[in-house]
Amino acid sequence: MALKITSLKDLAGHGFDTVIDVRSPREYAEDHIPGAINLPVLDDEERARVGTIYTRVSPFTARKVGAALVARNAARHLEGPLADKPGGWRPLIYCWRGGQRSNSFATILAQVGWRVEVIEGGYRSYRRLVAAAMHERPLPHRLILLDGNTGTAKTELLTLAARRGVQVVDLEGLACHRGSLFGAVASPQPSQKAFEGALAQAFEALDPARPVLVEAESSKIGDLLVPPSLWEAMKRAPRIRINAPLAERAAYLTCAYSDITADGERLRQVIVALTPFQGRERVTHWLKLAERGEMRTLAAELMARHYDPRYARWRDRGTPAVLAELEADSLSPEGLEAVAERLAEAVGRAEAADPLFGGETGSSR
C-alpha cells in the first residue's frame, strides 16, 4: 500500500514506527527525509552496476541482477538492524521515486508479517514539497530579524528567546555555520537540499499567524544559499537591533570562537584570507596579535576595522524598519538573560500591534 504525501505535515504526523530510506548511501547522504534511517537495498557500487547493465545489456538482465542483490541486502538487514523488531512494528519505506527498490523491500517485509507501506513517488514527492515551500511559494510566516554587529550574541539570544515562547528558526544552527569567515564549525555543512529540507520542516512546525524571529544574515551562510522564498521574506522583514560595547563583544566573541583561537594554524589561515580587504600591513599586525595570544585585542580590532564597517555599509543599502533597539551593557550569562527578556517583550509588542508589525520604533535599556 502506498502513502500519498501532499504536505510536509503529512510526514510530521505519519504515525509509523520507522521511516526507512532504501536508496544508496550516497543518495541518502546528500539528502533524505528528516528522521529516516538508511537501509540500502543497493549500495553505491551495486546501483552503478545495475544501471550500467540496464543501459548496455538489457532492462531484463538488470532487473534480474538487481533482484538478487536486493534479496541479499534485505537478508542482511533482517538479520541485523531489523532482527529485534516486534510483530507490531510498522515501517514506512521510500526510494528515489517509489519504484522497484522500495516496493521490493516492502514486499519482503510484508511477508514477514509487518504492516509496511511505501511513500508514493518516493523521495521525489518529499523534495517537490520542499522546493515548493522554499522556492516557489511566498513564505507564509511573518519574520522579525534579530540584528546587531558581530559579537552581540545573537545566536544565543535566539535560544534564550525560544525558551520564553518566541517562535524561532536558527538559520546558522541548521546551516552548521556561524556566518562569517570565522564561522566554520567542526561539523560539515549539510548539502543545499538537506539545508532547504530542514528549513522547510522548521517553518512547517511553526504557527504562520505569529511572528518568527530569525537572525539577520546575508543571502549565503558559509557555502549554503538562503532559499528564495525565505530570502524574500527576510528582505522585507523589520528588525530588532542589539547594541553592545565593543569590549563586551570582544570578550564574548573570544569565548564563542574558542575552537578557532585554540587552533593557531586555522586562525592564521582565516586572518590571511582578509588580506584583499585589509591590506598586508594590517593583516601582519593581526597575525602578531594572534601569535602573542592577545585574542580580545584581536577580536576588538577585527570588529572595529572589518566587520562593523561592513555591517554599516550593508545596512545603508536599504531602509529596514527597526522595531526596537536593545542596549546590552553586559553579555555575561546574567546580562543575556535580561536582554532575552526584553527581546521577548519586544516581539510580543510587535505581535500585538498589528499583522504588519506597524508599531512605533523604540529603544530599551
What are the pLDDT digits (tens) for 321-363? 899 999 999 999 999 999 999 999 999 999 998 656 544 444 5
Pairing outcome for strands 91-94 and 212-215: unpaired
| The residue to which cell 588580506 is assigned | 275
What are the pLDDT digits (tens) for 225-243? 999 999 999 999 999 999 9
Domains contained in the chain, CATH given: 2-132 (3.40.250.10), 139-364 (3.40.50)
Q: What CA–CA distance (Å, rounded) separates 289 from 68?
A: 63
And the C-alpha cell for 169? Answer: 528558526
From the list 240, 248, 247, the residue with the least C-alpha distance to 363 is 240
Residue positions counted in the chain? 365
Side chain identity, residue 50: V
Res 355: pLDDT? 59
> At 150, is the secondary structure helix, strand, or coil?
coil
Res 323: pLDDT? 95
Neighbour count for residue 263 (Cβ, 10 Å): 12
Is residue 176 annotated as a catalytic residue, yes or no? no
Res 257: pLDDT? 87
Q: Which residues of the chain have pLDDT under 50?
A: 358-362
**Catalytic position from the list 5, 74, 95, 175:** 95
Q: What CA–CA distance (Å, rounded) separates 278 from 44?
A: 46
Element (H, E) at 344: helix 333-353
Q: What CA–CA distance (Å, rounded) separates 110 from 179?
A: 47
Report the predicted TM-score, pTM, of the whole model to 2 decimal places. Answer: 0.90
